[in-house]
Amino acid sequence: MDKGLRIKELARLIGVTPDSVINWEKRGVKPRWKYLKRLGKILSISIELI
């Protein structure tokens, strides 16, 4: 994960389980829009880049 965040920490910040983050990152599962927005804000990147 970017910014030195661990999966567990990122999941907590977004409001999902660590398994959800793993599914997004490793299995290509698309996160819901509300989680995409949170992820972009936390990582300081455009949603289009996610």
Q: Is the pLDDT of residue 37 over 50?
A: yes
Q: Burial of 13 by CB count in 10 Å (0-12 exposed, 13-18 middle, 19+ buried)?
A: middle
Numbers of helices and strands, H then E, in the chain: 3, 0
Q: pLDDT band at 3, cuts 50/70/90?
A: low
Report the pLDDT value the prediction gives residue 6, as an integer from 0 to 100: 92
- Convert the pLDDT of each residue in 19-29 to its tens digit: 999 999 999 99
- Phi/psi region, residue 4 (left: phi>0; alpha: psi -120 to 50; beta: rest), is left
Domains in the chain, CATH or no CATH each? 2-45 (1.10.260.40)
Q: Is the pLDDT of residue 2 over 60?
A: no
Round to whole Å and give the CA distance between 44 and 39. Answer: 8
Q: Is the pLDDT of residue 44 over 80?
A: yes
